[in-house]
Amino acid sequence: MAAVKDTPAGNVVLLSGGIGGAKLALGLDRSLSAGALTVIANIGDDFRHLGLAISPDIDTLVYTLADLVNPDTGWGRRDETWHFMAELARLGGETWFRLGDRDLAMHVERTRRLDAGETLATVTRETCQHLGIGSRIVPASDSRVPTRVVTEAGVLAFQDYFVRRRAGPVVSALRFVGADEARPPATAMAALGDPGLRALLIAPSNPWLSIDPMLAIPDLRAALERARVPRVAVSPIVGGQAIKGPTAKLMAELGLPVNQASIARHYRGLIDGLILDHADAGEAAAVEALGIRAVTTATVMHGLEDRVALARFVLDFADTLRRG
């Protein structure tokens, strides 16, 4: 599809997790002029595995914006082969977290550079340059902020909970270890404080698993709280279900009604507007009662056209919320 560039000038910041957020990031990347988009990426899912530094949400964003992502899974590389995993299985190695042969190059190179003392922000920026990505992808912090999931089965590392146990154990709380001391990279703070900032967006990612690890970083939360530009989130819940992943299950386990008011309440003080799917038009009034503007559109993104259409809707809605 030929990308029709959006007209009003200004930079945009998107807070994003992995698969769902990356779809909106792609729509924004294709709608805005080159370099106008900064995506601040969740690092709560990051871990060391097989000696390698894994940053799943960064890689999902990178592969999506570089048009290299596996369209079937939403993570990892397209045209992937799995010889490494097969040989690892033959040796009795750990295979619950799958690293494809092409994806392995990303991990080996990132690990080498981090171990040589480079920052995650630098490695990510240069990876984007090598892959021809015009937008900036910036980790929420250069220091580690690993998510710990407090469950009926004990306190679990994020990928143990999410991938190995398929988000099965009932969750009672989440912890973001090191968040209090973490600082966003200078590029993230510069993007958030940019006088040319047009809008601050929150992707339709899981608010508790993917966005909260970033909001737990004091400077990031404060930047959202004091922003003078329109702040808009896209709800990840459609018709009482998560578009993808365990958001609805998690909300129920945390004792929250699985509805739009719960999402709005969670982001209260951090957003001016919430975008709902048409299916949830009946819940707009409950969101507005919380002092947050609510509008509806088609939020389920199947192809590139849907991603671009949602991106343009988000930008247009944000422009209507501009304060004087």
> Burial letters for 235-257: b for 16+ Cβ neighbours within 10 Å, e otherwise?
bbbbeeebbbbbbbbbbebeebe
The Cα–Cα gap between 74 and 58 comes to 13
Distance of closest approach, residue 107 Cβ to ligand FO1, in angstroms: 8
Q: How far is the CB of 36 from ligand FO1 (least distance, A)?
A: 25
Contact 43, 57 (CB under 8 A): yes
Kindly state the smallest distance separating residue 100's Cβ from ligand FO1, in Å. 8
Token pair in block for residue 1: 């599809």
Residue 220 binds ligand FO1, judged by CB under 6 A: no
56 binds ligand FO1 (CB under 6 A): yes
Q: Is 213 a residue that touches ligand FO1 (CB under 6 A)?
A: no
Site string for ligand FO1, 24-53 (x = CB under 6 A): ---------------------x--------
Q: Which residue is nearest to ligand FO1 (CB)?
A: 18
Helix (H, G, I), strand (E, B) or coil at 60: helix
Task: Select the residue interacting with ligand FO1 from 10, 18, 139, 185 (CB under 6 A).
Answer: 18
Q: Does 317 bind ligand FO1 (CB under 6 A)?
A: no
Smallest gap from Cβ 277 to ligand FO1, in A, equals 21
Among positions 160-189, residues that touch ligand FO1 (CB under 6 A) are 162-163
**Half-sphere exposure (CA, 13 Å, Cβ side) for 267?**
34
**Distances from the Cα of 304 to the Cαs of 5, 135, 253, 286, in angstroms?**
14, 17, 34, 31
Q: Restricting to residues 96-155, which ones interact with ligand FO1 according to CB under 6 A?
A: 97-99, 103
Cα-Cα-Cα-Cα dihedral sign, residues 20, 21, 26, 28: positive
Contact track, ligand FO1, 76-95, x by CB under 6 A: x-------------------
Query: To the nearest 5 percent, what fractions of the chain are helix, strand and coil?
Result: 40, 20, 40
Binding residues for ligand FO1, rule: CB under 6 A, are: 17-18, 45, 54, 56-57, 59-60, 75-76, 97-99, 103, 159, 162-163
